[in-house]
Structure 1
Amino acid sequence: MHRGRSPHRTESKPLCPQYIFDPKYQTTYTIHQCLGKGGFAYVYRATSDSETFAIKVISLSKIQSPSYGDKIQREIDIHKRLQHSNIVSLFSTFQDEFNVYLLLDYCPYGTLLDYINTRPHTRLNESHAVVFLKQILKATRYLHSECKILHRDIKPGNVLLSSSMTAKLADFGFACSISEERRNQQHSLCGTPNYLAPEVIDRRGHSVATEAWAIGCTFYCMLYGKPPFESNHLQKTYDMIKMCTYYLPEYVSVTQRSKDLISRILVDNASKRLSISDMLRHDVFSTLNRSSSHGSSLNSNLDYSYSKSCQNLLSPSAVSSRSPRSLSRISSRVNVDSGLGNDPSSSFSRGLGKTLEKYIRFIDVLLDDASSGSSSRISAEISDENVLPDLFVIKWVDYTNRFGFGCTLKNGIRTALFLDDSAISVTPDERLFAYWPRKMQDECNFFTRRNIATSLLELIEKIDKMRHYMDFNLHASVPVDETKGDVSPDSIHIVAFKKFNHGIFMLLSDGTCQVNLSGYVKLLFRTLVDSILVTVSHNGHHVNFVLQENQESVSPRHQSSVQITEYASALVAAADVFRDFCRDGSTGNLAPILTTAC
């Protein structure tokens, strides 16, 4: 894969084109709705002739470092070797000027997590859970025994359901060879917190035994509707895992066979934990016939409402970019594959809550080490200077006493949050609008000024007033980047803001947040895989830092760490704002009016 692209490049193509050409197989794919997104990748439904695929699109402009490019290449190299009925197939990989494309199995019923969240009481019938468990075990046994690969992130969100309701293990972004993990002396804490084994938290690395643990947590989640070590705080979750503290709720009817299996998997001593082969020989599978172990029994008994919902989502004529993943928001007790359970931010989005907590943790550790003079657990490298990210807010206007809050981004996108909890974004040329009836929805509706629904005319009038005020009455510290002519309005929108004594905090839908402080200091926070990106703008000078957890202790004398700690008071203020926001869900002047708290 070609990775010789600078992060300073100005070309941008955030939307997947309608047609994609695979030069290797001389095939053109038609792109339909977006199925999901995560990190810097989007997944779309794609068709060619009568076949349907999923296509993962990774923007080259978002690859910020060679190490991230290497990570993508490693994922491709591992995934293309795999051929198993319970693993999502990778058919082809190719790239063009803007993106890398991975052509994958299409699984119309979304993730196992989606399915759990749409069932009564957000848990599965035990017989269905056992079927899925056997399929996950078979996939994992194949990875370990035949391919010598560790997945390192097994969880319900990484298991997809095919058209026949067969479970297929997916997402090999963390995967590595068993021998590579054994040789590694600096073990990273990769994976998803709720599913990490005690030895992974203790930095002793991943193994076939830690995979067994993750599968045990996944089986528990299917039966009881949440992971066994779920809590409100990450450290508490880690402590519960290390002490192996969990319980089996008596109010849920589960057979003794399943309880016995869980108790023999979730053992803190890895040497006493059941292996994958041991699990497959367990009595829990004694009632399965040959057909059900391959998922056919599930397809015939699939709940009608779930099946019909998925069929509607697959309609190519759908205006909004809906997907089976959006069904995870149906339940009021929605489960997420995070390390946190019922965290205070769940009212606006657990994903955004996790992101804010990540920013807080990085800031706290960085400044604690700097003040104590101890070795730095967080490194802060300068990535570039005098360059502002596209999502930097250059102007904002607060009209919440009348109709809402609006802002202009450096890439020219204008976005507004209204008092009825809806949101709109519009392109710099004002030709295309994206509208979210509820700001936290994934799906949005597109329209132009020529085909605006009557019900939306009032909102367009409001955002026009905001635009006019910002354009003619406010002075921006930096100009709009006029080269960003192909930005799409659905790529970002504002979901919350909060005013405080010395400034304002603004949160965007992808977790990007900006804190403007008195004294002309502005901080922009973005998340990137295992690191965060922090932009400091002060008196016309802009510096972009990459903050990463060190794999080993380093001296605090590192030059870039000293530079970012010069803004320690601003970082502390930002962390305090994030904490307040996560604690009370406040959105400043909108709080008393919005129907759903941010």
Structure 2
Amino acid sequence: MDPACFLPSHQFNGSPLGSDLYKTSPTFASSKTGRTEQPKAVEPTRIITDPVTGRAYSKGRLLGKGGFARCYEMRDLSSSQTYAVKVIPHSRVAKPHQREKIINEIELHRDLHHKHIVKFSHHFEDSENIYIFLEHCSRKSLAHIWKSRHTLLEPEVRYYLKQIISALKYLHLKGILHRDLKLGNFFISENMELKVGDFGLAARQEPADQRKKTICGTPNYLAPEVLLRQGHGPESDVWSLGCVMYTLLCGNPPFETSDLKETYKCIKHVTYTLPVFLSIPAKNLLMGILKRNPQERLTLEEILDHEFFTKGYTPDKLPPSSCVMVPELNPPNPAKSLFVKVTKTLFGKRKSKVKKSPSEERDEISKLVTGLVKTSICRQMSHKTVEGNEVTPLSGQSPSSSPAVTVAEEGSRKSISRSIRGTMASTSEVFEDCVTASAVIESAIALLKNCLSIMPPAERNPASLACHEHFVWVSKWVDYSNKYGFGYQLSNRSIGVLFNDGTHMTLSANWKKVHYNLTNSKHFSFPASAVPEQLQGQMSVLQYFASYMEQHLMKGGDLPSIDEVGQLPLLLLQWVKTDQALLMLFSNGTFQVNFYNDHTKVIFSKPDHSCLLTYINRDRNSYTYKLSSIAELGCSPELQHRLKYILKLLLERADA
């Protein structure tokens, strides 16, 4: 391997949330229990310098050690930023396959951007070592908490497991298996947030018949199929998650024995004991996870939907004292319950049995929604990826399910419509539009069927158009339908939200004009400074979506942005998520499909004229073709595969 692959370092801006105690793990666990011992050795402080950038770092205390590396606390002398730094001596990676493992870890980890995954900052090497700079979590790891506490309360376990599952869903969506989930690899930040770390054994997911049969990981957390040399799959990570849950609740791993061979035997035969003090939901969940057959195990979505989570209290935050002592946990207070009721009323969920006058509801919304949005969106909507528009659901929504859209009563819509007309008569404009999602689907099916039926086989795509045609596409998106709705940013820099109640709100690129749709056939337009009182709650959500996407998400391709030219805003009619892709249908006939695993996108635009197909590849480079050219000349197998999948998806929607 070329040493230059480590230089220059790949850096990501942004400061870590605290200072982190890191443990580096060997290829196999240092102990069969998976317990992490705090090293006592402290090496003298010295200065480490990046030979390329000249940045100097003060090397501090030893945080942990493993088979290949030691981990130290280091401080950037120019910025005072603190990192946890893996230091790998060249002597430990002298053989090609050893160096390849380090390269693999770097390449996997540096592309991960998620609230509950340890941040990769940058790396470099000098004549002695390779240095990997990581987020620094000051409250050590779950292994240290477990060592102090031995067992945790069920609400605490739910708190940590939800964060682990959030990170795992993100990893699996990107086709990455962690393969070494254990207490010592879950790090705790200054503000008590869990971060999954140590990707030394992580690997990209392979088809079942191509999986590597290597037994790797920590003995107590290995899945039966791994011990039987059938390879790792997503289900193997789920098994390890079950072992983590058991360990936190019961005080020891489920298959721990005094003899390693006996431990392996217990794992293969799934022999373990459920203590009597466990709750019934906890026992049922563990039994659903620790299944010998990987296909019978609960999925991550099913785990979150289990009564252990849905019927049990999960604290929003844990006190730092819980690292060493049992915390005092209080159930939700009445004020929080009121927040939930107001949110459900505002965003189309089941209405309260106690009817309130419109003025009373508006007063409650005005007082509560801003605080609710700030505390809820800002804390939870922080899943960042390399391509930030690929944000996974933030709650238990199944990727294969369509969005939950609860349409408000027609009478309520008419009431809102009359109210808006009355209060905004001097400043609002009313427009009519009657494009439907079914019409877009029918048109798209006809186009694709015709194209796929006549196009000849080909090895490559036809010549792309020399210049970009002006059309609008989704450059960023956020799925927050578990609370509010689906948000997106268009290439013209306008922001839209399709709320769970079926209403739609759009903010112009300059943030000066708002369009509000009660249905897909009627919408209002008014200055952002004069939004009607009854829409202030939704306006607050829209503004937070806009701020979040602007600050945290990356544009999903290299297509140029285009300016708004005064026409009506593009209206999102429908969005659908499957296990492979996201489909978005718009009021002008445009539809876009984003594929999760490789971040490729297919956009169909100008369906009423000469239909254009734009393909954005995994490197975010875009190519636009006339659909008629693809029908005549054919396209690459890569694009053809995607077109066939899109047609199948559209046909399923047409039949739904």
**TM-score normalised according to structure 2 size:** 0.42
Bigger strand fraction: 1
- Which fold has the larger relative contact order, with Cα–Cα distance below 8 Å and residues 6 or more apart in sequence? 1
Task: Choose 1 or 2 for highest CA Rg.
Answer: 2
